[in-house]
Structure 1
Amino acid sequence: MNMKDRIGAHLPYLRRFARALSGSQQSGDAFVLAMLECLVEDPTMLRGDLENRTAIYNLFLRIWNSISTNGTTEMSEDHVATLAALTPRSRQAFLLVTLENFSEEEAAQVMDVEPSEFAEMIEEAGREIAEQVATDILIIEDEPIIAMDLEALTTELGHTVIDIARTQREALDIVARRRPGLVLADIQLADGSSGLDAVNAILETFEVPVIFVTAYPERLLTGTKPEPTYLVTKPFRPQNLKVIISQALFFKERATRKIAA
């Protein structure tokens, strides 16, 4: 495979990543150009032991990290303060898994770190984001042990759990008294009521990001109706859920539409 075929399809996405890191189209594109110039001079800089996309981002970050910079981002007015507040390595880790959709294992390879070290970066990013956008969380979950796990996990990130609802009615009564900034919801609730119906009723009243945490993802992922932006399958990995919570709050405008039953 020639170099053009190996990198061409990934360049638009790399430019997006570079802009988010550097803070502007001009600066981001300049870094991508610098990477391409390095490749022209020495094609062996692109590691052959990595999958193409991983190798390209790996080379880009090697070049990025070799230059003293801590640019801020101008992704949008809503995101600038939060993302700019992240430390450089946490920012890279967060964007790799949220904006570029790398798995944690792939992203660790991109950053040339062990998976355990990458997990620490992601956790730090979550804490740093929570410092900027700490919010009140409503948990809609009928299993007490799972509800306790969710409460402990979100509290560890710096958020506040305002209440735990076991039924649709309880959830609606809670939000009538106090509006949360994020909802974690199961689908099947204690009295046979629906977490999905509860969420849609909430979204009729006000916009709030929602993460479904469920053992029944097939009920939402039909491919024929509007589907949730954020869905975690039980049993869940705490680290994955922490990333998704941070992502949902960071990109909160993506997670406020009603979901079809």
Structure 2
Amino acid sequence: MFLPVSASIRQFARAVTADRMAGDELANAVMAEAARTGRAAGATRAELFREFILKWREIVASDAPPKPFSNVEYVKSLGPLPSQSRLVLLLSDICGLSQRDVEYVLAPLTKPYEELLAEGRSLVKAARGAHTALIVEDEPLIAADLKDVLENMGVKVVGQARTAEQGAREAVKKTPDVVLADYNLDGRKTGVDAVVAFHDDHDCPVIFITGYPDDVLKGDDVEPDFVIVKPYRPEAVQAAVAHCLDTMRFTTIDGELVNGDVQ
């Protein structure tokens, strides 16, 4: 089970830019261009991902000065794309694309697909230092499994919560580096409610684990960095967590915009 096409390109854009707002701006630009040319209705995920990559490469490589405040100027400020090994990891293990689709999206590859994927997955196994996580999940068995998945990659789980309210309190108290939250909590509130309650006091990457992919990543004000669809694969969770922990949030350093640089 996968995210809808529009949500998939939004998630990929957020991952590449390491920011929800920045990613949404670029995803919207890609979708708008596809709609303008009449290709949006039948476009596959791979086709939209390919268009995203080609447009980014074209803009970064161009010597022409961009118009002020334009999408072109914005993309130029982000700099080059992340490494192909990281992009292969995102497309394969999180977005769920096949080898054939990944090769199409990123062509030309700098190395064979298998080698790039192995390099990407080695990033997941890298030492995590003192990184911490909070789990917000009302199903004890799933919470326990997620805890094992995180601890197997060297991430310490500093708190577990079963409700949105408890999750918000734990996030502010424990200040985790990343939050994993179920979208549908106790049938009344969602992971969004938890994020809304704590994001002003503690800003960190958020990953939703959900069986309701159609309800998320619509471009609303408060949304996760990643959405992993149930039933999830441990590799997908670990790849999403690794990317969140290994990349800097979109920020300004000495007046220059910086995106997704691996720390």
Give the TM-score band, short-chain normalised: 0.5 to 0.7
Which SS does the other structure have where 1:236 is aligned?
Answer: coil
Larger proportion of strand: 2
Is the Cα contact below 8 Å between 1:104 and 1:118 reproduced in 2? no
Q: How does 1:9-20 map to 2 (within 5 A)?
A: 10=54, 13=57
Tell me what 2:122 maps to: 124
Match for 2:183 among 174, 183, 187? 187
Paired amino acid for 2:161 = A
Cα-Cα RMSD? 3.7
What is the total number of aligned residue pairs between the two structures? 175
Change (3 A) 1:254 1:154: farther
CA offset at residue 222 of structure 1? 3.6
Q: How does 1:156-235 map to 2 (within 5 A)?
A: 156-190=152-186, 192-222=188-218, 227-235=223-231
Match for 1:249 among 245, 249, 254? 245
Paired amino acid for 1:112 = P
Is the Cα contact below 8 Å between 1:229 and 1:254 reproduced in 2? no
Is the Cα contact below 8 Å between 1:167 and 1:191 reproduced in 2? no
Q: Deviations over 1:106-127 (max 9, x none)?
A: 457943254xx66543331112
Is the Cα contact below 8 Å between 1:186 and 1:214 reproduced in 2? yes
Match for 2:88 among 89, 96, 104? 96
Q: Could you tell me the TM-score, scaled by structure 2's length?
A: 0.54
Is the Cα contact below 8 Å between 2:88 and 2:120 reproduced in 1? no
For structure 1, the residue ranges without an aligned partner over 5 or more in a row are: 1-8, 20-24, 26-74, 77-82, 84-90, 256-261
Alignment partner of 1:138 is 2:134: yes
CA offset at residue 180 of structure 1? 0.7
Is the Cα contact below 8 Å between 1:213 and 1:234 reproduced in 2? yes
The structure, 1 or 2, with the larger RCO (C-alpha pairs under 8 Å, 6+ apart) is: 2
Which SS does the other structure have where 2:200 is aligned?
Answer: helix
Q: Deviations over 1:27-84 (max 9, x none)?
A: xxxxxxxxxxxxxxxxxxxxxxxxxxxxxxxxxxxxxxxxxxxxxxxx89xxxxxx9x
Tell me what 2:7 maps to: none
Change (3 A) 1:105 1:14: farther
How many angstroms apart in 2 are the aligned matches of 1:204 and 1:238? 30
CA offset at residue 186 of structure 1? 0.8
CA offset at residue 245 of structure 1? 1.3
How many angstroms apart in 1 are the aligned matches of 2:223 and 2:189? 20
Identity %: 28
For structure 2, the residue ranges without an aligned partner over 5 or more in a row are: 1-52, 63-77, 252-263
Which SS does the other structure have where 2:199 is aligned?
Answer: helix
Is the Cα contact below 8 Å between 2:132 and 2:176 reproduced in 1? yes
Larger proportion of helix: 1
Q: Deviations over 1:129-151 (max 9, x none)?
A: x536x511000011112111211
Is the Cα contact below 8 Å between 1:126 and 1:242 reproduced in 2? yes
Larger displacement relative to structure 2 (118-127 or 98-107): 98-107
Change (3 A) 1:199 1:12: closer
CA offset at residue 205 of structure 1? 1.1
Paired amino acid for 1:131 = R
